[in-house]
Structure 1
């Protein structure tokens, strides 16, 4: 492949991989974006301005060395580019697909700010890692030397898997405990296939298994195994459970049949995609087919729900959000994709109640933006007398997630939590109030991005390794 010079952002326009037409993609769960060809990826990578202070790298939670692997891509040195991306990111093929690049690296690209259109970093990252899998460059995380230390990881989501990878490469014996029958957490059951096809996740888990990571699935801590039992079996424990408790709607009629939680709905859809039998899907409880669907919420989970409902052949899909488009927390690209596929967004609206049981409609309260709140965002406030009923056969609550009460559920004394219910952990080492117990990901920081969970998992693994090293130094000194 021809080596390209850099700084071509003036002469070469920004291009993204081709997106499948909305009428075609709205009937299946395959990913909607195509793949760059090698020449096109190199051409787009060559648009990078090679900044002295790369804001793309600064605004990436993992601080990926983006300018350098873009340069290597432009030079056709793809294996080197992949290995550089893998050095800081345990799962670059996943981040390349689901990271909100428009809010992180690409949104802070210098040439984007200059009006030339961002470098399409996410698409190039995806291309690099998909190429690496095809060419056999992705290494099994097997160590050069085995160690005696053992770590138990509770939770097989991105934080837990990232930690498992890093610990296993160092030779540590790793066991991952998870309540589900498949590893991956929200990567497997929470994110739809049109954003992240499941073989992409499963092949990473297979690599971890080949590398020696032990998975104990269908294992609910506090029921199938005690937390103290896990602590006794390992030299250190990492809690990486994520946050799964759905926020509730305190409104009349909120308990009616036909009002469901987002995660239940998405999990059912993903299980069907795996070929599982899901009775709640078959009987229509968690199936949008032929229904008028209303999704309440404005984050990425809400976007996943509305786009899933479209693919299940709902009669109509509407998304209620209490602020306006400019203040919506979900990815701008996801909103655009949803609108292309037929979703209707009803801005400045909130549920005031529900009609019927089974549900027949949502009592919608129109809102306006008032004075800023403590975060600086304008606070939505109701417009008196401005209400109407939105017909609905299925209402999906996508209002975010809160932590479960782990100390109570697990019967653990001394595990400190914050006033929000998240586990209190040192922000550098991820150590908790219990000796040898660490915590990482959403269970510490609250519901957040996959890329932050990966960072937390890697940092926690490094802290655990340092703990082991310190213990070895102490033994040697004695």
Structure 2
């Protein structure tokens, strides 16, 4: 007999959770998507075709068991669905909100490819875990036995926290060091609230603290504590610093007032949402209110900046990107959301320079797409004689991030790095050239996705636990 719960994609249309209208959501930093009701989540999960080769799972960096937890949701077995999603993903409620599902699981859904509209995997994942928190199914970390081995984790972003979670559950003593005054890394200070409301991050950090993970905040390694001291203090070290050094632009006028870095701009906005005192915001330096804003870049950070500027009350917001819409790296869903909110995208344009000691405008050069580069993407070429000036009072540079020079900053020349400055680590175990020192996330990959950092953190934790088990076995023999 055919399963009456699943395979409803022919009769049931794809339906996202209700999205707040642009004129309302522009007024605040709350998330723009509502929550599924229980019946709607079950209905949408029931659209899954339960295909024999689940491409959604294959294209998920964590290889989440998506078809099975969709089936459990469709059957109303939500607590089991949560347990299954949590088994492979440390932070499903965060991935459900900020993963670019259109490029990963949902973009590779079999029924999407057949023209029926993808299963709304991310929204169901978010619903499952939000329900789990509300119902008290998310239990405190309670190791069965305490172990003496200790791990120092440098960086409280998704990679470091994922490793901390797994290691603490195994009973290890875990200390996380972070330069900021709150844990969470870019999840806390980089991603705006309209994509990821901060209580969602804080509840996971509370869970880690309640479970015995120690946090040492306002602590920059190399200043407040040396890397050598951390190595001496712990049996294992995990480097999960992320990449925070902004790529700089070389052009006439760089250094003018009103030309700011994306990370500074987003951090100020997020601090304000916590109720912090932010002088740079209050002075207007990192506040778009009443200004003509130009954002340079085409990635997800640029999308965060343009949508933040709209909410701060900018008079106009434009995004300059040197390629066209089809070739931009940012999520197409985010581009559509930004356009709905009034952002203007100026494709095939790049800054040539800046006018005024205090920013008055961007000298823009028009581009066209030429031959493909080494990555296969068409390279932008300048169209001679087509320059023009884009008026602006605030220009935000969202050109990506590069790794800091950790061997120099930490006085550890034996920490091997690549020619890009990222830390060299084994792609399976994540161990570096230094024994018992591991590295995960963006500091290894370069700027990447939260979900990849989570995967790295979990794999490094597994490698550490395997090494401990191996030594324990040898000692017993």
1:249 maps to 249
Q: Root-mean-square deviation (CA), in Å?
A: 0.7
2:366 maps to 366
Q: What's the CA shift string for 1:395-435, capped at 9, x where partnerless? A: 00000000000110111130000000000000000000001
1:211 maps to 211
Secondary structure at the aligned position of 2:365 is classed as strand
1:131-146 correspondence to structure 2 within 5 Å: 131-146=131-146
Secondary structure at the aligned position of 1:384 is classed as coil
1:85-104 correspondence to structure 2 within 5 Å: 85-104=85-104
Secondary structure at the aligned position of 2:387 is classed as strand
- Where structure 1 has 5 or more consecutive residues not aligned to the other structure, the ranges are none
Q: Distance in 1 between matches of 2:90 and 2:409?
A: 31
Structure 1: 4+ residue segments shifted above 6 A: none
Q: Distance in 1 between matches of 2:131 and 2:51?
A: 26
Query: Are the equivalent residues in 2 in contact too, given 1:4–1:43 (CA < 8 A)?
Result: no
Structure 1 residue 185: Cα displacement: 0.1
- Where structure 2 has 5 or more consecutive residues not aligned to the other structure, the ranges are none
Structure 1 residue 469: Cα displacement: 1.2
Q: Distance in 2 between matches of 1:450 and 1:435?
A: 26
Alignment of 1:347 onto 2:347: yes
Alignment of 1:184 onto 2:156: no
Secondary structure at the aligned position of 1:346 is classed as strand
1:79-478 correspondence to structure 2 within 5 Å: 79-477=79-477
Q: Distance in 2 between matches of 1:39 and 1:158?
A: 32
Secondary structure at the aligned position of 2:28 is classed as coil
Q: Distance in 2 between matches of 1:237 and 1:329?
A: 33
Secondary structure at the aligned position of 2:127 is classed as helix
Q: What's the CA shift string for 1:344-369, capped at 9, x where partnerless? A: 00000000000001111000000000
Secondary structure at the aligned position of 1:126 is classed as helix
Structure 1 residue 437: Cα displacement: 0.3
Q: Distance in 2 between matches of 1:116 and 1:36?
A: 20
Structure 1 residue 4: Cα displacement: 5.4
Q: Distance in 1 between matches of 2:267 and 2:32?
A: 20
Structure 1 residue 142: Cα displacement: 2.0
Using the size of structure 1 for normalisation, the TM-score is: 0.99
Structure 1 residue 178: Cα displacement: 0.2
Q: Distance in 1 between matches of 2:116 and 2:366?
A: 39
Secondary structure at the aligned position of 1:385 is classed as coil
Q: Distance in 1 between matches of 2:388 and 2:299?
A: 24
Query: Are the equivalent residues in 2 in contact too, given 1:140–1:207 (CA < 8 A)?
Result: yes
2:42 maps to 42
Q: Distance in 1 between matches of 2:17 and 2:412?
A: 49
Secondary structure at the aligned position of 1:104 is classed as coil
